[in-house]
Structure 1
Amino acid sequence: MMTTIVLCILMGMIFLAYHTTYVKATTVKLTLPGVSPLTLIHLSDLHGRTRFWNGELHKLVNAYDPDIVIVTGDLTQHRGQLTRVLNELAKIKSEDGIFFVPGNYEREAGRFRKKAYSAAGFHSQKEAWQQVMTVLENESTVIEKDGSCIWIYGFDNSMYGNERRPRQEIQQANLTIFLAHSPNIVSLIHSESLKADLLLTGHTHGGQVRLFNRTVGAYKHFHVGQKEDQSVGVFGISRGLGTSRLPIRLNCFPEITVYAINGS
């Protein structure tokens, strides 16, 4: 009897570990006129996790030979994890770069009782991010690729009210991408009548626990994955890679999202 109980507990732990650490890739095929074939990978909410059941993060990403990699915040659970996470991201081979927007954990640390970083602490981290990625903190960048113009704007959507609309008019581009950590940014986008082809966000973790294809925990009001939107074309919310608060996932696997644009 005791052996059976122990075996059941062990199997349950393995089951949860598999759901928590096995990364699934979601491929989204988009057809956008005037855009050269492009592979864009979206990562979010690492919370310090870089190794998974099925491999190291950089190997999982590099397998897709990405043109652009987007990271939408919450790299770590606490600052002590930052060097390891950045070392992993530095191994990603992205032809046109890695682009990053801060999340709430870029300004605070802790699983249950969060402590805000000082301004000096934030800027110290930012200097480290910039060694590996292009940081877009209410800023834009333009990529010229194979005759296409790609305009990317990153909102500093950190749950601290720091997000700002673009200071300049959105440039004419073949592809316009908005980035933010929290999907709440869509309210500002709608109220300001901003337009894009793609909005990429994270923060919700897909709820982390899902039953009958429904979120059990927080963020029930947000979709998981992609949906059409009148302002941003495709509105994507990543399930993310790590965990926050509860250190488990159930029926909500860690995710990298591969946007295959125009047959890439």
Structure 2
Amino acid sequence: MALLLLFHTFWVRTTIAECRTPLLPKLTLIHITDLHGRTRFLNGPLHRLINKWQPDLVCVTGDLAQHRGQLDRVMGEIGRIEAREGIFFVPGNYEREEKRVIGKKRYTDQEYEEMKQVWEGAIRVLENQGIALPFENKMLYLYGFDNSVYGNEAYVPQDREAGPAYTVFLAHSPKIISYIEERGLRADLLLTGHTHGGQVRLFGKAWGAYKHFHVGAKPDKSVGLFAISRGLGTTKLPVRLGCFPEITVYRFNSDRISP
């Protein structure tokens, strides 16, 4: 049983999503989330698992570390990721609090800003803001919601170039879908994490928290494709079962053979 838990906790599986759209050229977007301090796995360090896909951009949807003591190591690993257009990040609840032996401690505003300076050494932080990324004669629009604390999220329309764009929403928690639906917002892809896929799954079902959320990507009337990643690390229980850590590779209009 111990070997099974070790394998399920530390062997990263890569999910490949082939996407076709006239709004983008060929490009590769990788989504990771919920590291909780974990950067090395049985099948390699995180940067190597990502870099072999030669991504155009990488999106990280929160919970980098369990506590501040892990942050330098995590950011060192993220700094080794090679993405042509950069790495984009939205904060999760573990960017607002840290795990203690008993319970959690909320970060002060000053502590949060100090950590943000560290993040910005390697990644672009999106806190209720968007960015337009040109690809050839096409446009990808990223918008990051800060729902690291529920009630922080806001949609602030951004000035951007005229013309159609493929829109990707980023948020830590999938609960953002309620905010999106209530305001009639529209996107082509929503990337979230937070649930860890339940972390322990038996017979294809989660047996802990978040069992009412789906795992993976499903069609959605508001956001086109609503994706909830299993993430990479663990919290509360230090193990996974039936729910491998995950990297998701979105390949747009690609005819490339997998590496």
Query: If the TM-score is normalised by the length of the shorter chain, which range does it land in?
Result: over 0.9
Unmatched runs of 5 consecutive residues or more in structure 1: 1-11
The counterpart of 1:248, out of the listed 218, 239, 253, is: 239
Distance 1:25 1:235 in 2: 18
Following superposition, the deviation at residue 126 of structure 1 comes to 0.4
Match of 1:227, SS state, is strand
The counterpart of 1:97, out of the listed 70, 74, 86, is: 86
Partner of 1:150: 140
Larger Rg: 1
Following superposition, the deviation at residue 169 of structure 1 comes to 7.1
Match of 2:36, SS state, is coil
Q: Could you give the per-residue CA deviations for residues 30-85 of structure 1, whole angstroms, max 9, x where no partner exists?
A: 11113101100000000000000110000000010000100000000000000000
- 1:134 aligned onto 2:118: no
Partner of 1:198: 189
Preserved contact between residue 43 and residue 71 of structure 1 (Cα < 8 Å) = yes
TM (normalized to structure 2)? 0.95
Distance 1:174 1:137 in 2: 20
Match of 1:42, SS state, is strand
Distance 1:241 1:220 in 2: 18
Unmatched runs of 5 consecutive residues or more in structure 2: none
Q: Counterparts in 2 of 1:1-264, with a 5 A limit?
A: 12-110=1-99, 113-168=103-158, 172-263=163-254
Q: Could you give the per-residue CA deviations for residues 90-133 of structure 1, whole angstroms, max 9, x where no partner exists?
A: 00000010000000000000165011000000000001101100
Preserved contact between residue 153 and residue 166 of structure 1 (Cα < 8 Å) = no
Distance 1:17 1:206 in 2: 17
Preserved contact between residue 130 and residue 158 of structure 2 (Cα < 8 Å) = no
Following superposition, the deviation at residue 174 of structure 1 comes to 2.5
Match of 1:142, SS state, is strand
Note the aligned Cα RMSD (angstroms): 1.3
- How many residues align structurally? 253
Match of 2:8, SS state, is helix
TM (normalized to structure 1)? 0.93
Preserved contact between residue 150 and residue 173 of structure 1 (Cα < 8 Å) = no
